[in-house]
Structure 1
């Protein structure tokens, strides 16, 4: 079941995001990169909850995944990655964003990510967007490619502790 995320979900989501990254990224990033990314980038973006564009998927009575779409400028990162409210995007000229997707390792590879991405794409289309963009982590690239996203460029942000995290900017046109 897909439902909008609420502020009461945040505490659990923070824990689940860390489990997701630690459990599903080990073949793509070093332990130091994973821990740095959890500290500096990966997390809940509360602006998405305020906007009503961040969702959770419940399965077997627990939150199995979270993710959303955004009508704002930020491409990736949680609250710790930005300082001000993002400006709104124009659906006529800008691409909506797929943001902050994480699946609990116990529920990986069960189609939950696809369900969540489809819900986000449908909502973005209903809001007038015809293009989606995202900053994909390396473990997410195969899923996004399977869903019709193409890689535009490799981003390698340097985190405050000097770790470099591989991220791929991707796009899909409806």
Structure 2
């Protein structure tokens, strides 16, 4: 049974943060040392709660449980200050995919793929020609399989000289056809 993809509600913020933190700790463990993951969670968090208020954050629900989440925005994310160049430096109108997470027990079940499809459809409907994201190393294979290409590699600076290695990735969006 496919998950229900719907907008997140404000009362889901805490359960979303718990799922996201658990996801990063478990799925990121093969790619990052534990101290780097903990520093990233403490200093950057997992999502911008304003996305829920904007109506641009989605939940994938399966059997009444949060199985994943993802969002989008047309404004620069808060981590953009840590990058050497601005996001969406590519030609055309660009949207930023934000905070894609899947509950570890639901990994590799198509949840992230469905969320990405929903996010990309909404970005295209807003006039975005390109979708861009900052991928943790654990997410790079998924995004590459969805047609995203690496734009650049970065190390987001954390306290005590630590860095979170990420890849900036982008792909063109298929224009939506006008309704007949």
Question: Which residue is 1:62 aligned to?
Answer: 65
Structure 1 residues 91-146: Cα deviation after superposition (integer angstroms, max 9, x where no partner): x9431001011111111100000000000000000111110100000000000000
Q: Which has the larger radius of gyration?
A: 2
Question: Displacement of 1:75 after TM fit?
Answer: 7.1
Q: For structure 1, list consecutive stretches of 5 or more residues without a partner in the other structure.
A: 83-88
Q: For structure 2, list consecutive stretches of 5 or more residues without a partner in the other structure.
A: 83-87, 174-180
Structure 1 length-normalised TM: 0.88
Q: Contact between 1:76 and 1:135, CA under 8 Å: does it hold in 2?
A: no
Paired with 2:141 and 2:37, the residues of 1 have a C-alpha distance of 19
Question: Which residue is 1:39 aligned to?
Answer: 42
Question: Displacement of 1:49 after TM fit?
Answer: 1.1
Question: Which residue is 2:98 aligned to?
Answer: 99
- Greater than 6 Å deviation, 4+ residue runs: none
Count of residue pairs brought into register by the alignment = 163
Alignment of 1:93-172 (within 5 A): 93-172=92-171
RMSD (Å), alpha carbons: 1.9
Paired with 1:159 and 1:45, the residues of 2 have a C-alpha distance of 18
Structure 1 residues 59-96: Cα deviation after superposition (integer angstroms, max 9, x where no partner): 1210010111111112758xxx99xxxxxx9xx94310
Q: Contact between 2:47 and 2:98, CA under 8 Å: does it hold in 1?
A: no
Q: Contact between 1:76 and 1:100, CA under 8 Å: does it hold in 2?
A: no
Structure 2 length-normalised TM: 0.85
Q: Residues 49 and 55 (structure 1 numbering): CA distance in 2 closer, same or farther, change over 3 Å?
A: same
